[in-house]
């Protein structure tokens, strides 16, 4: 779980174990991650804390004064803001000390001058107001990566849904492309023809590609980052490719709860505008060495972070937290999902139709994964978007299509 910490230095982020964490444990995490001694910290959910002028003023903020109080009792969750007042000075993390030779010991080139103007700061507000997951679709994804893959290898997918005028993203289904998942890397083996069918079906359903979802493995569990350098690079590439300012990237991982058991957690982010810009302009180093620190992204040229010239940037600078909610969408997610080990067959189609025979036919095929299966079977690709429109508008499926699909299923 990630908390946003607002102090006189701006907005920073602290990774915590979950809402069961106590205030004393949070202060210890702030000390270790932000280098602010516990005895100098005053915390509150009240933004007026930052206006305090005297020690007497601080005494008014008591909501987080009990060290044993859990964060959950304050309704703090992933993405919540906690206000921090501290005394004394500190060095804001961001890299190695400035080397004077960078300015005076050598001749400045045009690239040097551009780099000096490239300042990386935290983006406080996302373009996406929130992301809402269809419960069945989210459950189908997390159940597979948890129960079948056991979070041993990475898995990813493209999220499809709608974007409201207010910037709210609703995800109604997840398309899982061909891929190769490893312990700390995910290679998408993208098939342009298959993705063309996917986008056509989505358009028929009144949906479009709105984001990317991926998992972190249990081998990554103890790493000190929200996204690794490889994950930042992949997320930035997909965000840049989308051209959608509300594009959302979601990570799914296991986290220990207060009972010592593991729970599946979804956390949503947007890649910052600066991150996408730097990716498009080719600033990121795209080759990784075994001894690279995964929580740092390497730059080809120096950038300015926290007033210092650096070539390694903490990945958190590129992440903007997005609130997650859920909804019950109009589509089902019961048909086997594409590009998994359990390949669908005509027998699978027949079983699905038999199981749903009490429903109108348009409801029986109201499943993106079923529609994709039909599109890739027996040359039906060009006809399936029309079926998708029937599903979207909840109008009767033409009799000819229904007979054809039922005939295909009966050949199993």
* pLDDT value of position 342: 86
* pLDDT value of position 95: 39
Is the residue at 100 inside a domain? no
Is the residue at 15 inside a domain? yes
Tokens of 79: 């993405």
Strands 296-305, 208-215: pairing kind: unpaired
Is the residue at 341 inside a domain? no
Please answer whether residues 268 and 258 qualify as being in contact, where contact means their C-beta atoms are separated by less than 8 angstroms. Answer: no
Domain that holds residue 69: 2-86
* pLDDT value of position 10: 72
Strands 168-175, 130-134: pairing kind: parallel
Both 313 and 352 in one domain: the answer is no
Both 244 and 322 in one domain: the answer is yes
Both 161 and 298 in one domain: the answer is yes
323: left (phi over 0), alpha (psi -120 to 50) or beta: beta
Start-to-end CA distance of the chain, whole Å, equals 47
Both 137 and 256 in one domain: the answer is yes
From first to last of the 412 residues of the chain, give the pLDDT tens digit: 889 898 877 778 899 988 899 999 999 999 998 989 999 999 999 888 887 777 888 899 999 999 999 999 999 988 888 999 987 766 655 433 333 333 334 455 555 555 556 889 889 899 999 999 999 999 999 999 999 999 999 999 999 999 999 999 999 999 999 999 999 999 999 999 999 999 999 999 999 999 999 999 998 865 678 999 999 999 999 999 999 999 999 999 998 777 778 899 999 999 999 999 999 999 999 999 989 999 999 999 999 988 788 999 999 999 999 999 999 999 999 999 999 988 899 999 999 999 999 999 999 999 999 999 999 886 677 899 999 999 999 999 999 999 999 998 988 6
The count of domains in the chain is 3
Collapsed DSSP state (helix, strand, coil) of residue 152: coil
Both 38 and 166 in one domain: the answer is no
Residues 6+ apart with CB under 8 A from 244: 163, 209, 210
Both 238 and 133 in one domain: the answer is yes
Is the residue at 92 inside a domain? no
Both 65 and 173 in one domain: the answer is no
* pLDDT value of position 288: 93
Both 306 and 353 in one domain: the answer is no
Is the residue at 337 inside a domain? no
Both 232 and 265 in one domain: the answer is yes
Is the residue at 91 inside a domain? no
Both 124 and 183 in one domain: the answer is yes
* pLDDT value of position 9: 74
Is the residue at 336 inside a domain? no
Report, in angstroms and rounded to the nearest whole number, the Rg of the chain calculated over CA atoms.
25
Produce one character per residue of 291-309: b if its CB has 16 or more CB atoms within 10 Å, e if not. Answer: ebebbbbbbebbbbbbebb
Both 257 and 150 in one domain: the answer is yes
């Amino acid at each position: 779980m990630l908390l946003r910490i607002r102090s006189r230095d701006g907005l920073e982020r602290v990774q915590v174990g979950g809402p069961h964490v106590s205030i004393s444990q949070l202060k210890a995490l702030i000390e270790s991650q932000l280098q602010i001694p516990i005895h100098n910290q005053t915390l509150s959910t009240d933004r007026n804390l930052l206006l305090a002028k005297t020690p007497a003023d601080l005494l008014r903020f008591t909501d987080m004064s009990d060290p044993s109080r859990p964060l959950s009792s304050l309704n703090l969750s992933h993405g919540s803001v906690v206000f921090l007042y501290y005394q004394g000075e500190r060095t804001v993390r961001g890299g190695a000390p400035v080397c004077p030779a960078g300015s005076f010991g050598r001749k400045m080139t045009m690239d040097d001058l551009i780099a000096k103007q490239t300042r990386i700061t935290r983006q406080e507000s996302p373009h996406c107001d929130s992301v809402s997951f269809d419960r069945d679709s989210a459950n189908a994804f997390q159940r597979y990566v948890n129960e079948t893959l056991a979070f041993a290898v990475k898995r990813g997918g493209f999220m499809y849904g709608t974007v409201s005028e207010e910037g709210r993203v609703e995800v109604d289904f997840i398309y899982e492309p061909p891929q190769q998942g490893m312990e700390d890397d995910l290679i998408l083996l993208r098939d342009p023809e298959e993705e063309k069918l996917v986008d056509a079906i989505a358009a028929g359903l009144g949906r479009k590609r709105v984001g990317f979802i991926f998992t972190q493995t249990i081998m990554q569990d103890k790493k000190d980052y929200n996204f690794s350098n490889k994950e930042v690079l992949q997320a930035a590439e997909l965000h840049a490719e989308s051209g959608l300012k509300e594009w959302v990237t979601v990570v799914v991982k296991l986290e220990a709860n207060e009972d010592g058991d593991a729970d599946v957690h979804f956390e949503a982010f947007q890649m910052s505008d600066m991150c996408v810009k730097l990716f498009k302009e080719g600033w990121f180093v795209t080759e990784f060495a075994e001894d690279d620190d995964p929580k740092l992204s390497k730059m080809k040229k120096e950038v300015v972070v926290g007033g210092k010239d650096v070539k390694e940037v903490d990945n958190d600078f590129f992440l903007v937290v997005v609130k997650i909610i859920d909804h019950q969408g109009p589509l089902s997610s019961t048909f086997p999902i594409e590009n998994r080990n359990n390949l669908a067959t005509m027998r699978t189609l027949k079983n699905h139709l038999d199981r749903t025979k009490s429903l109108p036919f348009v409801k029986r095929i109201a499943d993106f994964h079923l529609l994709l299966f039909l599109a890739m079977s027996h040359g039906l690709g060009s006809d399936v978007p029309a079926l998708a429109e029937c599903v979207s508008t909840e109008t009767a499926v033409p009799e000819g299509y229904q007979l054809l699909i039922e005939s295909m299923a009966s050949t199993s």
